[in-house]
């Protein structure tokens, strides 16, 4: 059974030039990219994407950060794609993320942790609709 997940290379990842590296790791793992777009998020889309964090103290900074430059949004497909990509990404705080993971290899700050991956199949469905409403 195949499933889909939404992956973002966040603006810090695009700025650092690791888009190719992230794509390469997704492909090496055996996951398939079925949609991909470079875009700059509006505050409205960013707030909808991170709606579960609306009451958190870092919400404003999170929205500033994710709208602060172009990002690469992708839909990634494969068996247990949600869990598989979260394993490639590593822990939310890059200092605690294992070396060998994307955040463990490229990040240092929790607020600039290079990639996003949906945290459940339910979130994935919601986020994919938000970013790629025309995807079948
Ligand atoms: P993401 O949604 O971006 O893939 O990250 P995640 O699931 O690993 O972490 P989540 O709990 O959903 O948090 C979303 C983003 O908010 C920032 N954050 N800052 N200052 C803080 O304590 C704090 N905690 C979380 C991170 O950039 C995280 O990716
Ligand atoms: Mg999350």
ipTM of the complex model: 0.95
- Which domains, from first to last, does the chain contain? 2-131 (3.30.70.141)
Closest ligand 1 atom to Cα of 8: 4
CA of 26 to the centre of ligand 1 (A): 21
103: tokens are: 């955040």
Angle of helix 19-29 relative to helix 81-89, nearest 10 degrees, comes to: 130
CA of 68 to the centre of ligand 1 (A): 16
**Residue in this structure with the two tokens 């199949």, named with its chain if needed:** 121
Residuewise pLDDT in 10s, the chain (136 residues): 799 999 999 999 999 999 999 999 999 999 999 999 999 999 999 999 999 999 999 999 999 999 999 999 999 999 999 999 999 999 999 999 999 999 999 999 999 999 999 999 999 999 999 999 999 7
Give this prediction's pTM.
Answer: 0.97
By C-alpha distance, which of 112, 100, 76 is closest to 3?
A: 76
């Amino acid at each position: 059974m195949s499933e889909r997940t939404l992956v973002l290379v966040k603006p810090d990842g695009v700025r650092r030039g690791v888009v190719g590296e992230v794509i390469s790791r997704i492909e090496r793992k055996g996951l398939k990219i079925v949609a991909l777009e470079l875009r700059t998020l509006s505050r409205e889309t960013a707030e909808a994407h991170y709606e579960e964090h609306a009451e958190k103290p870092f919400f404003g900074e999170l929205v500033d950060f994710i709208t602060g430059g172009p990002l690469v949004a992708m839909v990634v497909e494969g068996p247990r794609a949600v869990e598989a990509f979260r394993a490639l990404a590593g822990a939310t705080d890059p200092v605690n993320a294992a070396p060998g993971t994307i955040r463990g290899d490229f990040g240092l700050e929790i607020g600039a942790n290079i990639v996003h991956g949906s945290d459940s199949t339910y979130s994935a469905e919601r986020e994919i609709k938000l970013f790629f409403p025309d995807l079948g």
